[in-house]
Amino acid sequence: MEDKEAKSPSSGYGKPPWLFKGSALYQLHLVKSETARAFIPTDFRLVEAFGYTLGGFFLASYDDSPAGIFDELVVIAGIVWNPPTSCAWASRVLVNSDEACIHGRKDVGLPSQVARFSKKIAAIPKPAESRINGFLNVIGLGAESYSPKNCQAIKITEIKGPAAADFCNINLTTGSELSSKNWMGPLIKMSLPSYSGRTEYNSHLLKYSCQIECRVRPVSPAKVSGRSKLGIKRQQQSSSECGSSDSKDSTTSGAEDERKLSISVMLSKPILALEFNCLKMQVEPPVVVVPQLSHNSHP
């Protein structure tokens, strides 16, 4: 496979690699293949089994980055295969920083949008104690003491000029997830490669890699809520109807369909959630990818 380094337009980010520090939640979901295919270029093959691919989201809060302090939600539609590598493909990236949005679009080829992240933290009430447990606690035979937990509710709203549209709500449970107090998990290093591009801001097919060093621990999956997802049949019907209208209406309808399908990725079934603490993420400069068009290749 032939790769060439992509030319990066000037920006406040400076020269790559770009360094981000903070914390994140990496949550993996089972995503329906037909939902993921709406985002995957035909040059690539979707990695799937039994009608599903592996997607999910990456929710990060950066306290140090080239764009300063900001939040980011990367919606991962699925895994794609281009010999000899399989990588993640993002269907949508939401950030509350204009500079980060422009950088993502032009320099990395991401489908970035500006959004508002509204956060609220509330204590989770202590569960009611039964009479039996109360008696056992009195005589010293009760269960371990209750560990208080908090719920952080994050409402994410897309902003486009004067218009705003709700995207989703994410509820995170914070507190003592495991037995050891303040345990943040082992320190690990890993690489998360991704494909991007083929957008109105960057027409190239790109590949970039995030070199991550952080402390990782498994946590309870975040609960995601949002508007009902758009059915595939309804999407196809809407697309065909748009063909008879003017190009502006068709473009608007297509963008709305992509937004709703990204929400459906968020609403899909979670299978694993990992919390990244003391996160240091180095993003390497993207390279232009030459697709391998052989349909006989398998991951």
Residue 22 burial (CB < 10 Å; 0-12/13-18/19+)?
A: buried
- The pLDDT score that the predictor gives to residue 85 is 85
The yes-or-no verdict on residue 267 having pLDDT over 60 is yes
Q: What is the mean pLDDT of residues 48-71?
A: 98
Q: What is the mean pLDDT of residues 63-88?
A: 95
The yes-or-no verdict on residue 286 having pLDDT over 60 is yes
pLDDT digits (tens, 9 = 90+) for 30-57: 999 999 999 999 989 999 999 999 999 9
> Model confidence at 140, in pLDDT bands (50, 70, 90)?
low
Rg of the chain, C-alpha, whole Å = 21
Q: What is the mean pLDDT of residues 124-151?
A: 61
Q: Prior bond to 193 cis, omega within 30? A: no
> Model confidence at 292, in pLDDT bands (50, 70, 90)?
confident
> Model confidence at 236, in pLDDT bands (50, 70, 90)?
very low
Q: What is the mean pLDDT of residues 245-249?
A: 53
Whether residue 115 contacts residue 95, with contact meaning beta carbons closer than 8 Å, is answered with yes
- The pLDDT score that the predictor gives to residue 227 is 75
Assigned token pair, 69: 């302090």
- The pLDDT score that the predictor gives to residue 83 is 86
CA distance 212 to 222: 22
- Percent of residues, the chain, with pLDDT higher than 90: 66
pLDDT digits (tens, 9 = 90+) for 168-187: 999 998 754 444 456 889 99
- The pLDDT score that the predictor gives to residue 16 is 94
Out of 245-254, 271-280, 285-294, least confident range: 245-254
The yes-or-no verdict on residue 285 having pLDDT over 80 is yes
Strands 163-175 and 85-95: unpaired
| pLDDT mean across residues, the chain | 84
If you search the block for the tokens 């459906």, which residue do you land on?
264
pLDDT: is 7 or 281 the higher one? 281
Paired with 287 in beta bridges are 5, 207
CA distance 31 to 53: 5
- Of the candidates 213, 212, 116, 121, the one whose C-alpha atom is nearest the C-alpha of residue 173 is 121
CA distance 104 to 101: 5
The yes-or-no verdict on residue 293 having pLDDT over 50 is yes
pLDDT: is 64 or 249 the higher one? 64
Q: What is the mean pLDDT of residues 134-141?
A: 58
- Of the candidates 41, 129, 23, 27, the one whose C-alpha atom is nearest the C-alpha of residue 81 is 41
The yes-or-no verdict on residue 298 having pLDDT over 60 is no
Helix (H) or strand (E) holding 206: strand 205-218
- For 76, residues 6+ apart whose C-beta sits below 8 A from its C-beta are 55, 56, 57, 58, 88, 89, 90, 91, 265
pTM: 0.82
- The pLDDT score that the predictor gives to residue 137 is 61
